């Protein structure tokens, strides 16, 4: 499974926030925010919920998943 939708950067930039500011507000490192935005790291449920709340959005507005095509095949 991988993130097929990741709009964190867009929401952050619309608010005029730096990665440093978002990271500090979310209680994570700037590198974590950078890795999420670059698609190298999938946030935990707790962090995804926290980020969505910070932007006044639903998690689904920020992130979406793409199922593996072979998943569930017998």
pLDDT tens track for 15-67: 999 999 999 999 999 999 999 999 999 999 999 999 999 999 999 999 997 66
Is residue 71 in some structural domain? no
* Helices within 27-74 (DSSP H only): 30-37, 45-54, 59-62
| DSSP assigned state of 42 | P
Is residue 45 in some structural domain? yes
User: Residue 3: what pLDDT?
Assistant: 72
Domain that holds residue 21: 2-58
CATH number for 19: 1.10.260.40
User: Residue 53: what pLDDT?
Assistant: 97
Is residue 64 in some structural domain? no
> How many domains does the chain contain in total?
1
pTM: 0.82
Burial class (CB in 10 A: 0-12, 13-18, 19+), 4: exposed
User: Residue 72: what pLDDT?
Assistant: 56
């Amino acid at each position: 499974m991988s993130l097929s939708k990741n709009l964190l950067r867009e929401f952050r930039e619309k608010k005029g926030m730096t990665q440093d500011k978002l990271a500090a507000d979310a209680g994570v490192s700037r590198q974590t925010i950078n890795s999420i935005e670059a698609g190298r790291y999938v946030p935990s449920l707790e962090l995804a919920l926290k980020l969505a709340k910070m932007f006044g959005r639903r998690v689904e507005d920020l992130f979406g998943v793409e199922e593996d095509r072979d998943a569930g095949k017998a």
